[in-house]
Amino acid sequence: MQTKERLIRTEYSEIMQKSYIDYAMSVIIARALPDVRDGLKPVQRRTLYDMYELGIRYDRPYRKCARIVGDTMGKYHPHGDSSIYEALVVMAQDFKKGLPLVDGHGNFGSIEGDGAAAMRYTEARLARITQEAYLSDLDKNVVDFAPNFDETEKEPQVLPVKVPNLLINGTEGIAVGMAASIPPHNFCEVIDGVVAYLKNPQITTAQLMKYIKGPDFPTGGIVTNKEELLSIYETGMGKIKIRGSVEVEKGKGGKENLVITEIPYTMIGAGIGKFLNDVYNLVETKKTNDIADISNQSSKEGIRIVLELRRGADVENLCNLLYKKTKLEDTFGVNMLAVAQGKPETMGLVTIIRHHAQFQYEISTRKYKTLLEKELEKKEIQEGLIQACDVIDLIIEILRGSKNIKQARKCLTDGDTTGIQFRTKKSEKQAAALRFTERQATAILEMRLYKLIGLELEALIKEHDETLKKIAKYEDLLSNHASMTKLIIKELLAFKKAYGRARRTKIDQVEQAVYVEKEIEEKDVVFLMDRFGYAKTIDVSVYERNKEAADSENKVVLQCKNTDKICIFTNQGQLHMMKVQSLPYGKFRDKGQPIDNVSNYDSSKEDCVYLDALSNICKYRLLFGTKTGMLKVVEGAEFDVSKRTTAAAKLSEGDEVLFIRPVTGNETETIVMQSQNGMFLRIPSSQIPEKKKSALGVRGIRLSAGDMLTHIYLLSDSGGDAFADYDGDPVALNRLRIGNRDTKGVKR
């Protein structure tokens, strides 16, 4: 029998919307963001729990990371092995985490960006703090467990973390439409903050910050905007400015060295190499002449980047330059976002600690309820055994007279003597009065004879007294909020004493770095650019000595000031500007630098139509001509702007700038336009109106369909013939009849 197909008609957009929302929530809740209670992302939580299950404890041998990753992926985290290994590596890196949770053995990467070795080469085990403060009470029913992805295992929905890990280690995670970025904090300060909150739940952020001064990055450094921290911790959002620590040391020959001993947290990894490159560029582009050499002498002992300075260097000004132009001063964007009660929430400092405190009360309550139940069971059994010792002869008589264990058990629990043979009626009467519980009866039946020794009986009574004390203690903790608070504080202070360390990052209010550029001594230079786009500047006297070679070997030869800017006009209607100072200056035979590298000009995507110094352009009026025959004249001063790139001409779709030259507007100055189909039109330049640079211009020649301009010429009254080539034949341009703008011209 065939099953009938059932078609469901629905709106496609609704299915897409629902599917995307499901995907987004999955990424937010189940992958990218940490839980506010334990401060861990799912992959971190699952990895630590798997290590706990595998028995890879801090006091046991290391195990291969490949084993940990494979087991985690197979049991709990059905995603890529690389994401699990990366999470494991980060938890072991002391330069990324304020409190490493994994004890790594082998190459786990470096602060300079070196990656960890493959998982088959590295080993790991749980750190001691992780075992004691993150996983210790999992066997006491303190958290809920849920089925794993294929329902073959159980995994904890949250770890019973006893310290506020979200603040201690911080986190970074990008979800869909949101991102978490929480800086790490000092372990001791955070513990003190939690203790202060437990003593006074009405504490304000300002009061809490007496204990938690601010972020404490593993890389040290200096937080420079102390006054903004209160706002950041109240709202959970803001920007923290951090600087590296710089020291001045005496060098050789009376010179000084600038030594960077701590870097901003954001510079970890490739940022160090980029910093060295940025400093090199500052020297190359003559931004500073104070640096003679730079070397990275960092090692396992710490960061040490040495800048050897020239004699008489202005150290303070150089430091400010590094703060302004490199990542030695950077910004850490804070967004204290985490999953709270099943949904993402941006929280302030007090809110995060409140969630942590509530979680501590919850897991402590569940822990001591579990312990109380166990102690009550022990008490019940102990009382049964003590009572049994008092009537041990009767119990032996019951056992000897019973036909099976079921009959004996029934007598012990219910006083049922049916079928049991007793020596005397008195014994039978005493047996009928017995009322042991099921648990007590089981313990009596399993009791060994050596328990009847006097010392063993004394030990049992002593153990019973201890059990009663524990029951009283647990009942007090569960019924008295103050007692529970006192116990939580005691545990926190014990962790602080065992694992606390001194603060690394300084918190200060520092004025913004102000770099004063040294005034450049203005002088004339000659700008040279060869046909490959390599440019440099040389002294005028050097040019004079090599004039013939310079003119023949270079596409552009231009005299300008060293304080000037070079303007590059492109066929796309863009103007790119670069400082003359940014170009290499020196010997005539030096290669120079591509203009692409010192400006926004990209020679692979656009062509240079006109190039000149800004000081010259400001004196001119520039004539613009495009392939579609649009013309305009623009005052050169309009191009004196601060932007490195600006629009120099407005173009219609598919059009390009073909021609840019300075014009005088004299009556004798004429423009000749040559089209692809051999049309020529000569008009006076005075017919072209002056427009703004953002204007489209006016039509210079009326072109037929499919035709376009290939050349535009500017003729003056200097005398002599000017020729153009068309199909191999010369055309005398100055002999063409002068016509009017916006006409078709003549055919050649």
Strand order in the sheet with 709-715: 709-715, 670-675, 679-684, 746-747
Find the helix or strand (DSSP H, E) in which 376 lies.
Answer: helix 349-390
Token pair 């400092």: residue: 349
- Cα separation of 215 and 203, whole Å? 19
- CA 733 distance to own-chain centroid: 64
- Cα separation of 575 and 128, whole Å? 62
- Of the candidates 20, 23, 121, 280, the residue annotated as catalytic is 121
Q: Is 450 a catalytic residue?
A: no
The string of DSSP codes covering 471-498 is HHHHHHHHH-HHHHHHHHHHHHHHHHHH
Contacts (Cβ under 8 Å, ≥6 apart) of 316: none
Contacts (Cβ under 8 Å, ≥6 apart) of 415: 431, 432, 433, 434, 435
- CA angle (587 as vertex; 585, 592 as ends), nearest 5: 60
What's the chain's Rg over C-alpha atoms? 42
Find the helix or strand (DSSP H, E) in which 276 lies.
Answer: helix 270-284
In this structure, are strands 222-223 and 506-507 parallel, antiparallel, or unpaired? Answer: parallel
Contacts (Cβ under 8 Å, ≥6 apart) of 619: 636
Beta bridge partners of 577: 567
Say if residues 308 and 279 touch (Cβ distance below 8 Å): no
The string of DSSP codes covering 42-98 is HHHHHHHHHHHHHT--TTS--EEHHHHHHHHHHHT--S-HHHHHHHHHHHH-TTT-S
**C-alpha distance from residue 747 to each of 91, 675, 738 (Å):** 79, 10, 14
Find the DSSP H helices in 402-453: 405-414, 425-432, 438-446
**C-alpha distance from residue 543 to each of 122, 492, 527, 536, 584 (Å):** 62, 76, 10, 12, 15
- Cα separation of 184 and 189, whole Å? 11
Say if residues 101 and 130 touch (Cβ distance below 8 Å): yes
In this structure, are strands 102-105 and 63-64 parallel, antiparallel, or unpaired? Answer: unpaired
Torsion angles phi and psi, residue 674, rounded to 5: -120, 130
Say if residues 280 and 292 touch (Cβ distance below 8 Å): no
- Cα separation of 748 and 728, whole Å? 12
**C-alpha distance from residue 416 to each of 388, 401, 432, 480 (Å):** 17, 13, 6, 43
- Cα separation of 412 and 385, whole Å? 12
Say if residues 401 and 420 touch (Cβ distance below 8 Å): yes
Residue among 422, 260, 394, 374 at smallest CA distance from 327: 260
Active site residues: 121
